[in-house]
Amino acid sequence: MNEYTFLITVAIAFLITVLLSPILIPFLRRLKFGQSIREEGPKSHQKKSGTPTMGGVMIILSITITTVFVVLRVNNGVLGYEIFLLLLVLIGFGLLGFLDDFIKVVLKRNLGLTSKQKLLGQLVISVIFYIVLLKEDFATTISVPGTEMSLELGWFYPIFIVVMLVGASNAVNLTDGLDGLLAGTAAIAFGAFAILAWYGIPDLTITLFSLAVVGALLGFLVFNAHPAKVFMGDTGSLALGGAIAAIAILLKMEILLVIIGGVFVLETLSVIIQVISFKTRGKRIFLMSPLHHHYELKGWSEWRVVTTFWAVGILFAILGIYIEVLSA
């Protein structure tokens, strides 16, 4: 195995997404699968109304096709349970997001699935994920970043896994609010895990899957960067959030996800802080949450917000890799 295989994986996923986009985007537009913009959101976003959404379909297709093709080629026709689990979460959460988007854009219910319906779907997929792990006699420990220590969670481990998958999916979903914001920050985070998966363990299949995600997201950015011609919607964001949590779990780098996915954590914390402050004090901490909207309303251009968050994402990724290297 050499670096050329890794480059080819990224290239295949990138090309599939780029080639699918000119076909899928007009198709979504003809079906009137356009994004509805919340009235309470920034006024500058109203011009985005009608932009095709559900572009996450092409991301999921690209990742799936690339992963299956490359892994089968390099692994003597065997996918293995890790790829099965990663695709289970990617496609499962993606279908849940697709249903949410469909309700929003076709049935004109702007909030999509209710929070209870979405949570139930996420819980079912997460439980199936854990059941497969259980059959593989997967360790119920989590590693402490920067050390050789591990914590035994025992009976609490399945709860931890479910909370992690659901939480990461929703955190990544909150980050999808500006052109190119999530595609860029997610590509950085998945790239960091690709590096750790190969140079740390190494785990070939997880490395290839992570690189397929990076390639697909870079291809999507060609059409999603400002001004966006397509949005990934919940179809893409829920799938990506679940997938990155699944990678962290399989690599036994659960806690490290909080660092590498630092942008997603900050976005989620901004919402939690905003809600708690408003309900307890009647005051808002931020002009608007999630955090990226706060900076928009402070007068930052959309492109400035996005590139700043990308830069922060790179710093978190470097920090995560550095901390993991310390324990090697």
**What is the structure's pLDDT at 33?**
63
The secondary structure of residue 289, as a DSSP letter, is S
- Of residues 163 and 39, more confidence is placed in 163
Question: From CA 206, how far away is CA 197, in angstroms rounded?
Answer: 6
Q: Is 29 a residue whose pLDDT tops 80?
A: no
- Of residues 325 and 17, more confidence is placed in 17
Tokens describing residue 305: 């917000």
- Of residues 102 and 221, more confidence is placed in 221
pTM (predicted TM-score): 0.93
Respond yes or no on whether the N-terminal peptide bond of residue 22 is cis (omega within 30° of 0).
no
Alpha helices in the chain (DSSP H): 3-30, 56-74, 80-105, 115-135, 157-175, 181-200, 204-224, 233-250, 256-260, 262-281, 291-297, 302-326
Q: Average of pLDDT values for 97-103?
A: 90
Which positions ≥6 away from 218 have C-beta within 8 Å?
Answer: 10, 14, 17, 183, 187
Q: Average of pLDDT values for 281-289?
A: 91
Question: From CA 270, how far away is CA 323, in angstroms rounded?
Answer: 25
**What is the structure's pLDDT at 94?**
97
Looking at residue 208, its amino acid is L
Looking at residue 189, its amino acid is A
- Of 32-41, 66-75, 299-308, least confident by mean pLDDT is 32-41
The count of other CB atoms within 10 Å of the CB of residue 151 is 14
For the CA atoms of 17, 61, 174, 269, what is the dihedral angle to 10 degrees?
Answer: -100
**What is the structure's pLDDT at 177?**
86
Q: Are 257 and 241 in contact (CB under 8 A)?
A: no
Phi-psi domain of 138 (left: phi exceeds 0; alpha: psi -120 through 50; beta: other): beta
Which positions ≥6 away from 125 have C-beta within 8 Å?
Answer: 88, 89, 92, 93, 96, 165, 242
Packing angle between helix 80-105 and helix 115-135, nearest 10 degrees? 170
**What is the structure's pLDDT at 46?**
47
| Average pLDDT in the chain | 90
**What is the structure's pLDDT at 54?**
87
Q: Is 31 a residue whose pLDDT tops 80?
A: no
Looking at residue 140, its amino acid is T
Q: Are 195 and 249 in contact (CB under 8 A)?
A: no
Percent of the chain with pLDDT over 70: 91
**What is the structure's pLDDT at 180?**
94
Q: How many Å is the Cα radius of gyration of the chain? A: 19
**What is the structure's pLDDT at 41?**
54
Pairing of strands 141-143, 150-152: antiparallel
Q: Average of pLDDT values for 27-36?
A: 68
Q: Is 38 a residue whose pLDDT tops 60?
A: no
Q: Is 328 a residue whose pLDDT tops 80?
A: no
